[in-house]
Homo-oligomer: A and B are copies of this chain.
Amino acid sequence: MPLTDAMQLISTDDHLVEHTDVYRERVPARFHDAAPHIVDLEDTGAQAWSYQGRIYPEVALNAVAGKPPEEFGMEPMRFDDIRAGCYDPIERLRDMDLDGTWAQLNFPTFAKPAGTMFLRGQDRELALLCVQAVNDFVLDEWCAAAPDRFIPLVVLPLWDVAGCVDEIERTAAKGAKAIGFPEHPVPLKLPSWYTGHWDPVFAAAQAAGLPLCLHFGSSGRVPQPSPEAPPPVWISLMGTNSIETTADLLFSPVLHQFPDLRIVLSEGGVGWMPWLLERCDYTWERHRHYTDVNRDVRPSELFRQHFSGCFIEDLAGLRARDLIGVDNITWESDYPHSDSNWPNSRTRLRDAVEDIPDDEVHKISELNARRLFGLGMTRS
């Protein structure tokens, strides 16, 4: 029984859906119309978000927890269609209890996992207020409901590096433990990690001890090799975004410059890591001599100092955990998305780890996440 009752399951990637008043109640009255709010679309009976005069029809992207797979194709049309655990932290705690999960790190939904929604629209003053609003909601309302069971993740005003630094410092002071950051800036038409543009953000994250959580898809890139390919193709391939990010960061100056910066590949899976790390080392051995890369530290060594992977179910990755680094793997539940095994997460994880020694299971299910996000070991 390697996953024992004493191990408190900590999930490093889940999603909350901002309730209808999250933004409006936190911005000045003059932004009442432009701030994100829910509208009813008269012709269809569906609900949608309205922000800066535009309509965004996904009220609760892929929030299908509790539905049978046969119904996964139907996106929720209204808040009524989704479980209250999506937007109500007290209900969420009940759903976590059903699932055998002790704590969760939640990404916002309307804001998107790295806050990239607020790159849209012309009004940057409102956009910054929205970033602060969702962060304050996460800190003051969602996580405050159970501070030892919710890990506060904040997002940044990505259009303004100085503003990012301010928001890191502001939210770290209020208890933030993680930053939702784009898995890659370039598809968002932002400067790459190689340009130095983000160095103040990396410095601030490092100083505050906040890992950057790069959720797959947060760059907006969707791998779609054929225009006609059905959804299972891109769903299966989303982890290639995490693969690209990993190689790109491993050969960049970033991790050499910021030795305490931590990168979390949220929902990226881990089973590809042994292959990629071996491949990066192989490439580094041959091509470091004539290229502008660090010539002293092997990419796999750099990876183990800086990266954490997250998996929902990844038997190949678990079997190869020694090649990845047992300290570099965390588990996630992905509630309420279709990848989640809720309400059977604990049962499925228990089966997946039954041949793994207790101490390693404990690291993967709980201790690595506690160390990564500085959660301490207090338990209730």
- Asked if residues A275 and B278 are in contact (CB atoms below 8 Å), the reply is no
* Copies of this chain held together in the complex: 2
Q: Is the interface of A mostly helix, strand, loop or mixed?
A: helix
Contact of A237 among B194, B232, B247, B269 (CB under 8 A): B247
- Asked if residues A243 and B245 are in contact (CB atoms below 8 Å), the reply is no
Interface mask (A174-200 → B, CB under 8 Å = 1, otherwise 0): 000000000010100000111100000
CB within 8 Å for A279 and B69 given contacts A226-B248, A229-B252, A272-B272: no
Stretch at the interface among A20-28, A165-173, A204-212, A308-316: A308-316
Contact of A69 among B70, B71, B243, B285 (CB under 8 A): B285
Name 26 interchain pairs, CB-CB below 8 A, sorted by A. Answer: A69-B286, A69-B287, A70-B290, A71-B290, A73-B291, A186-B225, A186-B227, A192-B228, A194-B228, A194-B229, A225-B248, A226-B252, A232-B288, A233-B247, A235-B283, A236-B251, A239-B275, A271-B272, A271-B279, A272-B275, A274-B316, A274-B319, A274-B320, A279-B314, A282-B313, A316-B323
Chain A residues in the interface with B (C-beta under 8 A): 69-74, 184, 186, 192-195, 223, 225-233, 235-237, 239-240, 243-245, 247-248, 251-252, 269-272, 274-276, 278-280, 282-293, 313-317, 319-320, 323, 338-339
